[in-house]
Structure 1
Amino acid sequence: MAVSSQQATPSTAQIVIEILELLDAHTDREHGITATEISKRISVSEKTVRGHLKALRDMQPFGRRVEHLERRDLLSAESADPKPGWYIEPVFDTAQMRLLADGAVISRSDSEYLSDLIAKIYTFAGKSGQLRGLRQLTTPKNYNTEFLNNIEMLNDAIEHERVIRFRYCTYDIDGNLVPRRDNAGEIKEYQADPYHLMYKNNKYYLICHMHQHDSLSYLHVERFRNLYVEETDHALNRSLDSFSPIPGTPFNIEEHMDERPYPMDGAAVPIHLRITGTLEPLYDWFDNAKVTQISANEYDVHIMANELATLWWALQYADSRLIEVLEPQSLRIMLRDTGESLLEKYRD
């Protein structure tokens, strides 16, 4: 008696999963795959495949569009081998993936760590090759293998209002990051109340209250080592709102950072400027400036900002003579004293 060798027909769910896996692995906005190719790969009829593809187009699985690329859609394609057919929209477009990948590199992790992270971004976004060129990664001189784990721990500490303990690094004579030491040569250990993580000026900062200070601190996250989060919730020595410039009101962290082109403590004050030529130096640093045009290339400007941070900002544009501080007088005096010091140092 002959034994039947007929293969079991795959279920609808199996077919749909296999179609989605093929689309995810082999397609993007310039490379499709035909229903015929899919039917051969998963061993079901082309009619069945077309029916499921049309259903997926209507469903948009996981919020991702499934569409058919026509030849006319590829006339402006940038790739050398565009191909019509069905494709699934990636989770991230190329620009979003580039930002995520660049953000990973900024973390200053070691190259193996970075490669693993970017590979996960790459896989999650789709395997169509949109991240060409990111396979070669340069290991930063001062990388931190703890960086991503520290971010997770800091997020947890902020959410549950837990005190943190850590070592903090500075640079040695060769430019390597090493833990800070006290006068006796012992490695320093710090405690702090963590409040907020923020990216600014190409650095990732933790805004916190270090227990030995009465003010806010702005620490570079890549310099943390041996981070430990206390287990007790709501155990901060001080709340962020206790630093509010108006007692009894919530502390606005975004406004606070906007008022500081360089993160530093101290009050923000009204500052009156005259800018000639271009407003790029202004709006590159101060989003909320109030500007009045007073002539073809002259502007009257008011900002709220920290005086010392504004001094540093103005000095970087000193050679262009674009910026004049009109008020407050205290900031004008700081600029004058700095100029006199530079004149004395470089007189000869």
Structure 2
Amino acid sequence: MICRRTGRLGRVTLNRPSALNALTLDMITLATRTLREWLTDSAVELVVVDGAGERAFCAGGDITVVHGAAEGDQRIAKELWRAEYELDALLAHYPKPVAFLMDGIVMGGGLGLSGHHRGLRIVTERTVLAMPEVAIGLAPDVGGALLLTRTPGLLGTHLALTAGRIGPGDAIACGLADHAVDSSRLPEVLGALERGEPLSELTYPAASPLLGDGPWIQACYSAPTVTEIRKRLRARPEPAASEAANAVDSASPTALAVTLEALRRARTMTDIEECLVQDYRLCSRFLDSPDLAEGIRAAVIDKDRAPHWNPASHEEVSAEAVASYFEPLPEGELQLPPRPCGPTTR
């Protein structure tokens, strides 16, 4: 993590390009401390968050830490999540404007950083955005359920249950980004931000293929259960629906059922803090599930892409088992600091 001031800008650069700028506890701690210091620094009028290299803004949290915790000391992952969620909430309510240069891969924790602070979330033709948690036996966290329920129709449910990847136009259409620029013009964007100039001449209109799929997505994902969603997807004539069914079939049945319930509960939530408390409960419970360690093994450790889920079928996931993930934690809930106060130039 590199934090520095450049003129009127406070610059935060995620600096693990070889790991797709995945977040470590040290990175999160430094960013949080620096952002709190800048709250009262009148020289910092606007914060810019970007990622080193050309491949990723941020691919999420350090998944190897989570894998180790799932197989050993759970406190390590829980400490990472608590710190990450505090940073997400801080950025969501930051009283100064924040620009996120979401160039390249933006997944999981990367969306938690950028998704909740609207106005200057900038994507490029290289942006690939996703919440891929169900593919590793987990549910979307970092307030992702709140973001996904605010997409048009049930696009967010489709993205969550398929771990679907979208580009810049779809990101903007789903309310997960604000402006598209060509990656070659990012230095010009930085210059304009430093001078306090508008970005309108640098942006371009990005098309959204996903919006055209809205009707069949609505018809399929309005079903009450994952089992019924799968049936409806298989019955559709669109090739994209068949691809979606394949994606759902490859994910953890438990993670899918918990995710669907989490999205539905998020519809009544009004702020990120409420969602993050739910996320912490779910992630803590997934540490006790065999699917999380197995999913990370198959996707990241051994990379055989052949996880063995337990239970293996959707019919074996009971409503009682899903409900248990949402019960209060016996060891205590997530406690987030008060919302930040400070001079605002927004």
Q: Structure 1 length as normaliser, TM-score?
A: 0.18
TM-score by length of 2: 0.18
Bigger RCO of structures 1 and 2 (CA < 8 A, at least 6 apart): 2
Higher helix share: 2
Q: Which has the higher strand share?
A: 1
